[in-house]
Amino acid sequence: MRRLLWSIAVLISSVCCGQTPRLPQGASGDEILKKVDLNMFSENKIILSRMIIHGERGSRTVEAKSWQRGTRESFSEFLAPARDKGTKMLKLQDMLWTYSPSTDRTILISGHMLRQSLMGSDLSYEDMMEDPHLPHLYTATVSSEEAIGGRLCWVLDLAARKEEISYFSRKVWVDKARYILLKENLYAKSGKLLKTMDIREVMEVKSHWIAKSILYKDALKEGEGTEFFVDSIVLDTTIPDYIFSKAALRK
């Protein structure tokens, strides 16, 4: 079942403030990345989302509701299709559990299991567990400027600050006006392309720019990738503590 839920991790959290002061001409890559990070952050959020997973045997749609508090706590419940309904996932700090109603079992996802696909999608559990604050993980340099869909972007090359990281380097395209990532390529230490992310549509909610439609593609898999849609989102709302508990997995 991340960055996605991104981090559905990743997932999901490409949020940028629409009223952020502009950076000066010639700003450094690290300054730009910090601005993106500030704009991505929303203290709490509740999200209704869909993933359309395009696999070798056809496509299927997975619907979920997710509660996120800060960057270290999240709870997701899958609503559809029928075979996945009631499956739940809980992230607390650096721990991740899943609950399956068909087996009535709660499983801790750790070690090599984190590299497994989330619900058969192009995202992994590892994507969900990664720290979404990119300045914590990478240093950034501006390599060029490029337009995507008519939006002028900075192109940043990100280099890992430490060895123990899922993606050793990244190339990201940052909308210069809205400070939101519009495209991202993720690479292994060898330089091999592992995954891509393309934001196809954004929306503005309470002066925040939010990724509404994203295409994720695992470069090592066949298929057309995984489409991720944010159908509704509530920002900076109160979420009760019981949501982020192991007991909530079985409710």
Q: Which is more confidently placed, 234 or 22? A: 234
In this model, does residue 9 exceed pLDDT 60?
no
In this model, does residue 15 exceed pLDDT 50?
no
The reported pLDDT for the residue numbered 207 is 74
Residue-range definition of the domain harbouring residue 72: 15-250
7 belongs to a structural domain: no
Residue among 232, 218, 231 at smallest CA distance from 54: 218
The dihedral built from the CA positions of residue 113, 115, 202 and 141, taken in this order, carries a sign that is: positive
187 belongs to a structural domain: yes
Rounded Cα distance, 216 and 196, in Å: 6
Under the phi-then-psi rule, with left for phi > 0, alpha for psi from -120 to 50, and beta for the rest, what region is 160? beta
54 belongs to a structural domain: yes
> How many structural domains does the chain have?
1
pLDDT in tens, 169-215: 999 999 999 999 999 999 999 999 999 999 999 988 877 788 999 99
Q: What is the chain's mean pLDDT, rounded?
A: 88
Categorize the per-residue pLDDT at 27 as very low, low, confident or very high, splitting at 50, 70 and 90. Answer: confident
203 belongs to a structural domain: yes
In this model, does residue 2 exceed pLDDT 80?
no
10 belongs to a structural domain: no
CATH number at residue 20: 2.50.20.10
Query: What is residue 76's DSSP assignment?
Result: E
Q: Which is more confidently placed, 5 or 230? A: 230
9 belongs to a structural domain: no
33 belongs to a structural domain: yes
Q: Which is more confidently placed, 26 or 218? A: 218
107 belongs to a structural domain: yes
Tell me how far CA of residue 92 lies from CA of 9, 126, 146, in angstroms. 13, 14, 38
In this model, does residue 19 exceed pLDDT 70?
no
In this model, does residue 24 exceed pLDDT 70?
no
pLDDT in tens, 126-163: 888 877 789 999 999 999 999 999 999 999 999 999 88
